[in-house]
């Protein structure tokens, strides 16, 4: 775990601040991707992050994530992150 207690900038950037104010009829992953100037695949991966266990999100925000958990690694693992929070902790190195 990080001893500095500061969040890793790369991981914090993954917690999106997307503009989702469009009408529900117009809002698609592709529209969001275009708005944010990223790929649709990237948006799909970001949309999986809210399913992370609350304590994992808190640890990332507080800089208490395992040092081996980088933004790049989290994004690579995102498609296969289990729904079960205990399994998430194991996979991401929180146990």
Residues 5 and 64: their CA atoms lie apart, in Å, by 6
Helix (H, G, I), strand (E, B) or coil at 45: helix
pLDDT tens digits, one per residue of 2-27: 444 555 555 556 555 555 555 666 77
Is 80 exposed, middle or buried (CB count within 10 Å of its CB: 0-12, 13-18, 19+)? exposed
How far is it, in rounded angstroms, from Cα 11 to Cα 58?
Answer: 12
Query: By the 8 A CB rule, do 65 and 2 touch?
Result: yes
User: What would the pLDDT profile of 32-58 be if each residue is shown by its tens digit?
Assistant: 788 878 888 888 888 788 889 999 999
């Amino acid at each position: 775990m990080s001893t500095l207690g500061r969040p890793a900038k790369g991981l914090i950037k993954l917690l999106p601040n997307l503009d989702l104010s469009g009408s529900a009829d117009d809002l698609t992953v592709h529209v969001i991707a275009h708005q944010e100037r990223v790929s649709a695949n990237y948006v799909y991966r970001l949309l999986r992050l809210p399913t992370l266990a609350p304590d994992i999100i808190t640890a990332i925000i507080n800089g208490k994530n395992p040092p081996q958990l980088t933004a790049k690694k989290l994004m690579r693992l995102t498609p296969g992150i289990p729904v079960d929070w205990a399994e998430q902790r194991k996979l991401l190195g929180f146990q």
